[in-house]
Chains A and B, each alone.
Chain A
């Protein structure tokens, strides 16, 4: 990788995250989605992996805690689906209901659908970055034959 590629890859990370955030928050009423935002953010991280290598990319905070981010997203999505049942409504009923007044944050409407999209974004990001990190190991390190030892242990030890 040339020096220009590495420079631009490093510079592009935060703008890519901004684009992902924009796609995320406008998803409930315009073209956009939690999944698309997660993929765009993952592409930013993937750019770091290919341009800078695994060791440099692992220094970024989102990559280090990627599985935890995924689990947080899963819990958020679960809460959005289950809490309406605890309140007596059907599963995944969004509040406020269609037609009811909505709290605005600037032009952004605060709906549970937005929370669900954020949960999906975190889940996709965490899962994809975790998978990329796992496969990046194969490229950078020497891989010995690993896990026959785990199962053989159980078969042999008794």
Chain B
């Protein structure tokens, strides 16, 4: 891994971290995406070589690039695509529920709200098992 690639990974990772710490949720998602791309570039840097592409038919005598690294990179890109779109969908949900795209401010202490378990358990119910409409 040469110096340019290492610097690129570092710059991307740092920029992504800086964005992740912002309050706006879209910027946070962009930070996550940038960090994923930094790691993808890091994976690519494992297979740096000047060989020929690992696709048949191959020439004799020349070294071949490592195909495993390229498949690792592709898998990482696909996975981060899926996860980023899931993250954006969750952010969309937060937007429709809260009406704003600022990050949730204080995530830990909400003493006045009851938890879901308490609400579920405090409902009044009959003793008999509930009847649901048969499908």
Chains A and B touch each other in the complex, with CB atoms below 8 Å apart? yes
Partner-B contacts on A (CB < 8 A): 29-31, 33, 35, 39, 127-128, 131, 134-135, 138, 143, 145-147, 151, 155-158
**Interface pair B126/A158, CB less than 8 Å apart:** yes
**Interface pair B89/A134, CB less than 8 Å apart:** yes
Partner-A contacts on B (CB < 8 A): 53, 55-56, 74, 77-78, 81-82, 85, 88-89, 92, 95-97, 99, 116, 119-120, 123-126, 130
Known: A35-B78, A158-B125. A128 touches B85 (CB 8 A): yes
**Interface pair B78/A134, CB less than 8 Å apart:** no
**Interface pair A143/B96, CB less than 8 Å apart:** yes
**Interface pair A145/B55, CB less than 8 Å apart:** no
Query: Quick one: which of B82, B89, B97 contacts A145, CB cutoff 8 A?
Result: B97
Q: Closest residue of chain A to B122, judged by CB?
A: A155
| Shortest distance from the beta carbon of B57 to any chain A beta carbon, whole Å | 10
Known: A29-B56, A35-B74, A145-B97. A135 touches B92 (CB 8 A): yes
Question: What are the nearest 9 A-B pairs in CB distance?
Answer: A158-B125, A143-B96, A155-B119, A131-B85, A135-B92, A158-B123, A35-B78, A155-B123, A138-B92
**Interface pair A135/B88, CB less than 8 Å apart:** yes
19 additional contacts (CB under 8 A) given A131-B85, A147-B97: A29-B56, A31-B53, A35-B74, A35-B77, A39-B81, A131-B88, A131-B89, A135-B88, A135-B89, A138-B92, A138-B95, A138-B96, A145-B96, A145-B97, A145-B99, A146-B97, A156-B123, A158-B124, A158-B130
A128–B74 Cα distance when bound, in Å, is: 17
- Mostly, the A contact residues are helix
A127–B56 Cα distance when bound, in Å, is: 33
Enumerate chain A residues within 8 angstroms of B99, measured Cβ to Cβ: 145
A119–B82 Cα distance when bound, in Å, is: 16
A131–B91 Cα distance when bound, in Å, is: 12
A119–B89 Cα distance when bound, in Å, is: 23
Query: Quick one: which of A33, A131, A158 contacts B74, CB cutoff 8 A?
Result: A33
Q: Closest residue of chain B to A155, judged by CB?
A: B119
Enumerate chain B residues within 8 angstroms of A29, measured Cβ to Cβ: 55-56
Q: List 23 A-B contacts (CB under 8 A).
A: A29-B56, A31-B53, A39-B81, A128-B85, A134-B89, A135-B88, A135-B89, A135-B92, A138-B92, A138-B95, A138-B96, A143-B95, A143-B96, A145-B96, A146-B96, A147-B97, A151-B116, A155-B119, A155-B120, A156-B123, A158-B123, A158-B126, A158-B130
